[in-house]
Amino acid sequence: MIDCIIKGGQVVVGGAVQGLDIGILDGRIACLGRDLGAGTNTRVIDASGLTVLPGLVDVHVHLRDPGFTHKEDFYSGTSAAAAGGITTVVAQSNTNPAITTPDAFVEVRRIGEQNAVVDFGISAAATEENAEYLEALVKAGSLSLDFPLGGSGPALTVRSNATLLAILSVVARLGTLATAYTGDGEINAFERQRLQNAGRKDPLAYADAFPAACELLGTGRLLAGAVATGARVHIRQVSCPETVTLAATMRPLMRPGQLTLEVTPHHLYCDRSAIESQGVLAIMGPPLRTPQDTAALRAQLRAGQIDIVTTDHAPHLKSEKEVAIDDVWRCPPGTPGLETFLPSLLAAVHRGEMTLPALARLACEQPARIFGLHARKGHISPGADADLVLLDPAAPHEVIPDRFLSKAHYSPFSATLRGKVLATLVRGTVVYDGSGVADALRVPRGHGRFLAPA
């Protein structure tokens, strides 16, 4: 009893690529096999000559909704995700109002359920001020308690070590996950003032204001707190190889799986030369690093020292970036990443830097596992949701930001990447058909479902 068959594809499953058919029933994978037979009413999708990946799970996405919907909203952001082969996103908490209370959480969930194209979860914020709400936020379905330790807006930044320990103690008691952007606000403020006093307003000055010491000191705070409390912690958007090395030295003090790390494609495959060529459009937090740094991060990823890849999709309007062309300190940091996520990783596959099974592990399986979604998401196996991407992995992919479905029409990626998405399926329904235009979206607003941790 199956209502749809994906037939003839090369399926990335079980750490290998195999020629298999995929049988789907009621939005879930019912069976895998060769030459599955179709019934009279079975829909057949021909995947001959194509690769079939699990839908990507992007656990770090700023959808800007509510409060900043001129930059992005649930519909535009999840449409961009569908175009990029991403079938699950986790929305971040720096909205307006920020997701610091149960009421704010419920409102974001409502907006998502009315507008999302792909499935979504939510990470709520833990701050200096909302200790009374943390347990309720977790019970409401937050996939993590998220906070910056520096280098971000002051309202959400956890500056006090006492507060950090209190948050991590709640995380440990509730068995949830703490996710943190590890920076140091004091060093960043000092370096920024020093550079401004020297008359620096150029784009590279912004990068110079975030030395590796910022990330290292924030990481040290987080790891010390994790050891002291037993909390499970996840380090966001690593940009410095020294951070990964520090984490590796601390892992023996923790239980297996207590510490995980993520890196973004732009910190793997772009460097400071993008700032030199693109100016303020390439300003993000943390900043792009040196070619030596990116090479070291790629080596650490291959060695298994970094657990997942995410986008940190942080869109602004192009005009909002360009207003700072003569004064970088006016520039809002952030870059879109949803529509270049899979092509950037497929380019690495094409160069021989990773395999398709490794891509599926880093961008599908492991993110779902870390964030409590693995029962249904991130893998192709019976019982899982039929979240699938049919693609030609070797086809050239020209980055054309003006054609993005995201509202942010710029990108640090200016070269040709790889991969053409022919179809993206969420729970067995084709939500994007690969034509590369807005009317390729095949489902109405609200197809996406809210995901709570299993």
Length, in residues, of the chain: 454
**Residues whose CB falls within 8 Å of the CB of residue 334, separated by 6 or more in sequence, listed in order:** 62, 284, 285, 312, 314, 315, 316
The pairing of beta strand 28-33 with beta strand 16-25:
antiparallel
| Structure token digits, residue 324 | 């700072």
Q: Residue 15 class from Cβ within 10 Å (0-12 exposed, 13-18 middle, 19+ buried)?
A: exposed
C-beta separation of 30 from 2 below 8 A: yes
Chain mean position to CA 204: 25
Rounded-to-integer distance, Cα 259 and Cα 441, Å: 37
DSSP type of residue 251: G
Catalytic residue among 312, 385, 387, 433: 312
Give which of 359, 432, 426, 443 is closest to 386, Cα–Cα: 426
Helices (H) then strands (E): counts for the chain: 15, 17
CB atoms within 10 A of CB 391: 26
312 belongs to the catalytic site: yes
Rounded-to-integer distance, Cα 83 and Cα 141, Å: 27
C-beta separation of 92 from 123 below 8 A: yes
Q: Which residues on adjacent β-strands are paired with residue 233?
A: 178, 259
Catalytic residues, by residue number, are 312
